[in-house]
């Protein structure tokens, strides 16, 4: 729109009418932003101000210098971004107000009464108490009772695996093959629940073969129920870096345990399937729910079979606790 230099009162009024007509006839709402300095600041539409917000921000933008800036020649959103990184001490923007509220909450929350602080202290204390007595994969403090199982490891015969048990006299009695098998992974030693499904899954697997096993684990006993097991081929097996020596060479911990010598159908293993279809094969379970798996020897044979009045009975056992809650029995008291 052009107006000549010399104007009469009527022509000035006419120009104003034309300007107003152009302003409202374009179909766009002209609104005062209220966020930039300058009483006359206008926006052609709500979409041109801070990502489409309808100019409701009542704070001082602090980044736009032109008092009559109509946001035609610069990016307002970029200025807002710049402003957020240059907030002053008395800034009242949403981000700064949130920080102030969080700080005030922290100051009001005393270390002794704060639930979060108390929980963190309890966790730290539990970890420090677990310390040397922590049994890793079978720890009742560090591990849930039951969890999914998905690990790669090596199937090994339990007899002869632990150095601490190599001098023990072997049992002459016959036991189910599952009782004498373990899965050794980098996380620990796992025994297999003596079920027909587990026996079938492991029937064609040889001692020392590396496998990928999936299923469920009763962690407080180092017992696994298999949903599936796959023997790794040579290429896959060569990629598995397994340190079985860290478990086989363990000296173990001398223990005196009391519990029930329970067969498969008596054991509490949570949601894991269990039955005595393969015979009454026993493990020891204490009052805490921990299950201990006997290493087959002459001293443990009767306990495994539940013979000589030990089936389902409370017993007291002295021995050495090894990885996977494997128990080397040295003395039995009924």
The answer, yes or no, to whether residue 177 has pLDDT greater than 90, is: no
So what's the pLDDT on residue 210? 97
Q: How many CB atoms lie within 10 A of CB 84?
A: 13
Question: Longest Cα pair distance anywhere in the chain, in angstroms?
Answer: 125
Instruction: Tell me which of 90-99, 276-285, 293-302 is least confident.
Output: 90-99
**What average pLDDT does the segment 15-27 reach?**
50
So what's the pLDDT on residue 50? 45
pLDDT in tens, 234-256: 999 999 999 999 999 999 999 99
Region of residue 200 (left: phi > 0; alpha: psi -120 to 50; beta: else): alpha
Q: Is 122 left (phi over 0), alpha (psi -120 to 50) or beta?
A: alpha
Helices (H), the chain: 9-25, 76-84, 94-108, 115-130, 196-202, 234-238, 245-248, 301-305
Taking only the tens place, the pLDDT of each residue in 40-68 is: 444 444 444 444 444 444 444 554 444 44
Which residues does 177 contact at the CB level (< 8 Å), separation at least 6? 199, 202
Q: How many CB atoms lie within 10 A of CB 103?
A: 10
Please calculate the CA angle 185-171-327 and round it to the nearest 5 degrees.
Answer: 45
Rounded CA-CA distance 322/241 in Å is 22
pLDDT at 176 over 50: yes
Contact between 154 and 237 under an 8 Å Cβ cutoff? The reply is no
Helix, strand, coil abundance in the chain, percent, nearest 5: 30, 25, 50
Mean pLDDT, the chain, whole residue set: 75
188, two tokens: 């620990």
Identify the three-state secondary structure at position 178: helix
CA dihedral of 304, 306, 312, 318, whole degrees rounded to 10:
-50
Binned at pLDDT 50, 70 and 90, residue 27 comes out as very low
């Amino acid at each position: 729109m052009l107006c000549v230099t010399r104007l009469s009162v009527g022509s000035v009024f006419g120009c104003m009418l034309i300007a107003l007509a152009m302003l409202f006839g374009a179909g766009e709402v002209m609104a005062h932003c209220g966020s930039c300095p300058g009483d006359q600041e206008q926006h052609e539409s709500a979409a041109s101000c801070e990502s489409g917000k309808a100019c409701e921000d009542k704070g001082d933008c602090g980044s736009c210098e032109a008092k009559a800036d109509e946001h035609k020649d610069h990016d307002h959103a970029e200025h807002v971004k710049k402003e957020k990184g240059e907030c002053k001490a008395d800034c009242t923007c949403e981000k700064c107000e949130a920080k102030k509220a969080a700080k005030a909450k922290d100051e009001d929350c005393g270390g002794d009464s704060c639930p979060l602080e108390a929980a963190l202290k309890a966790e730290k204390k539990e970890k420090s108490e677990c310390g040397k007595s922590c049994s890793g994969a079978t720890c009742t403090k560090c591990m849930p009772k039951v969890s999914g199982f998905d690990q790669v490891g090596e199937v090994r015969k339990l007899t002869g695996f632990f150095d601490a048990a190599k001098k023990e006299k072997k049992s002459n009695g016959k036991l189910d093959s599952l009782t004498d098998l373990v899965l050794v992974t980098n996380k620990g030693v796992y025994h297999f629940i003596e079920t027909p499904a587990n026996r079938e899954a492991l029937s064609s697997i040889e001692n020392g073969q590396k496998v990928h096993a999936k299923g469920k684990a009763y962690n407080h006993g180092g017992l696994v129920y298999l949903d599936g097991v796959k023997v790794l081929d040579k290429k896959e097996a060569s990629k598995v870096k397994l340190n079985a020596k860290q478990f086989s060479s363990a000296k173990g911990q001398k223990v005196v345990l009391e519990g029930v010598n329970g067969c498969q159908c008596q054991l509490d293993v949570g949601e894991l399937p269990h039955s005595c279809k393969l015979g009454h094969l026993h493990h020891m379970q204490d009052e805490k729910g921990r299950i201990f798996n006997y290493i087959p020897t002459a001293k443990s044979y009767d306990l495994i079979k539940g013979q000589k009045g030990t089936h389902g009975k409370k017993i007291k056992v002295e021995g050495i606790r090894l990885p996977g809650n494997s128990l080397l029995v040295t003395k039995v008291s009924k």
